């Protein structure tokens, strides 16, 4: 398949950008189509610099626009589908999340069938698998355990249904008589430069005497660095294009983690920012069981008010479970079948992210100086 091309959806996002940067180095790749609803000016500038190395086409539009998606797929040999609405705190209307995450994926699969795109890689999430209960301990889970979320919370449900649709599409007949081959990657919590959650925590701490919020001290997770999550997509792509490896990978899903130490989300935030003088809130925290039932009461209030008012609870039972559970995952299957080894060590990932946090601190200082003059 000499002279191939690749479409990346969600290319303006935290993970999508990194995938695009790695794709530029792929041999015989003639064109990268980068698709998102809107690209920030600084990202447009960065992508335009990459055009000296490869043909890079910017596509701005809505994933729910069927005609736009058909045009985007026409003449493409691979799709990496990272576009999604990530909403673990139910801030957005449920229909928005379901539309983008599930319906958008279904529209893209149909577009691939019509445009005869043979390879489709889906960015899923470990939230399709776990955690279901903060009382449950999941350590080094592997794909063979077939863990599945039982939450009706809209984000994990939308991703679970979308992943099922992608894996069920493996083996579809394409318009040109070929076959569609799919796989899904389930990264653990992705951290690194540009992470919107870490950005939010740092902003909060900068307005609060350098004190980071503490809301997950009982969790034990194994986060993955964004550069390694992106690298796994490149390896999945290579494997699906390799006639020898492809049959084992078609229709499969893979957990993607790396060698970042197992720790709580709070510890991770602290480790990545302590160099700049940040500290964790040392105040008392409620027992998880009490917080869980408080979440339930807040959900009830939201439900009772829903006919007249959209009340957004500060947290719910799903968020409490997510932030206070022990759930870690092994990347052994990805290692064996995709040839995945982390591209970045924990030390390098920590250094890169810490430097980025430092740049946020500098921006904050400059903004304060501007305000005082």
Using the Cα atoms of residue 147, residue 151, residue 156 and residue 162 in order, give the sign of their dihedral: positive
CB 233, CB 23: distance < 8 Å? no
Known active-site residue 327: no
Catalytic one of 122, 134, 155, 189:
155
What are the phi and psi torsion angles at 210 (to 5°)? 75, 15
Q: What is the Cα–Cα distance from 269 to 265, expressed in whole angstroms?
A: 6
Q: What angle do CA 339, 345, 119 make, to 5 degrees?
A: 35
Task: Give the DSSP letter of residue 145.
Answer: G
Please report, for residues 37, 145, 156, 223, the alpha-carbon distance to residue 130 in angstroms, rounded to integers and kept in the order given: 29, 11, 9, 14
Continuous segment of H or E residues that includes residue 121: strand 119-123
Q: Spell out the SS3 assignment of 306-370.
A: CCCCCCCCCCCHHHHHHHCCEEEECCHHHHHHHCCCCCCCHHHHHHHHHHHHHHHHHHHHHHHHH
Dihedral sign (CA 202, 207, 209, 212): negative
Catalytically active residues are 155
């Amino acid at each position: 398949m000499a002279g191939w091309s690749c479409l990346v959806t969600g290319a303006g996002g935290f993970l999508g950008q990194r995938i695009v940067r790695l794709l530029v180095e792929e041999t015989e790749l003639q064109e990268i189509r980068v698709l998102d609803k809107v690209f920030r000016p600084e990202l447009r500038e960065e992508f335009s610099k990459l055009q000296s190395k490869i043909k890079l086409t910017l596509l701005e539009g809505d994933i729910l626009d069927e005609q736009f998606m058909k045009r985007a797929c026409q003449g493409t040999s691979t799709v990496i589908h990272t576009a999604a609405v990530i909403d673990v705190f139910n801030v957005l209307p449920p229909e928005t999340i379901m539309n983008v995450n599930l319906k958008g994926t279904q529209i893209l699969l149909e577009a691939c069938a019509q445009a005869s795109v043979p390879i489709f890689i889906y960015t899923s999430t470990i939230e399709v698998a776990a955690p279901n209960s903060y009382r449950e301990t999941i350590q080094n889970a592997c794909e063979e355990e077939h863990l599945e979320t039982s939450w009706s919370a809209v984000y994990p449900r939308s991703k679970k249904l979308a992943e099922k649709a992608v894996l069920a599409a493996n083996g579809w007949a394409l318009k040109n008589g070929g076959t569609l081959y799919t796989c899904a990657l389930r990264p653990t919590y992705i951290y690194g430069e540009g992470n919107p959650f870490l950005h939010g925590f740092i902003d909060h701490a900068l307005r609060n005497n350098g004190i980071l919020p503490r809301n997950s001290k009982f969790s034990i997770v194994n986060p993955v660095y964004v550069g390694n999550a992106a690298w796994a997509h490149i390896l999945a792509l290579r494997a699906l294009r390799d006639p020898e490896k492809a049959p084992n990978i078609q229709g499969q899903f893979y957990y993607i983690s790396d060698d970042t130490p197992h720790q709580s989300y709070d510890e991770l935030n602290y480790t990545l920012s302590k160099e700049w003088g940040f500290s964790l809130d040392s105040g008392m925290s409620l027992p998880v069981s009490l917080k869980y039932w408080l979440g339930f009461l807040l959900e009830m209030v939201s439900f009772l008010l829903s006919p007249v008012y959209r009340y957004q609870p500060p947290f719910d039972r799903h968020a409490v479970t997510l932030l206070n559970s022990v759930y870690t995952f092994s990347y052994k299957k990805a290692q064996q079948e995709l040839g995945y080894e982390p591209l970045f060590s924990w030390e390098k990932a920590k250094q890169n992210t810490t430097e980025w946090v430092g740049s946020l601190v500098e921006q904050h200082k400059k903004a304060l100086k501007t305000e005082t003059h």
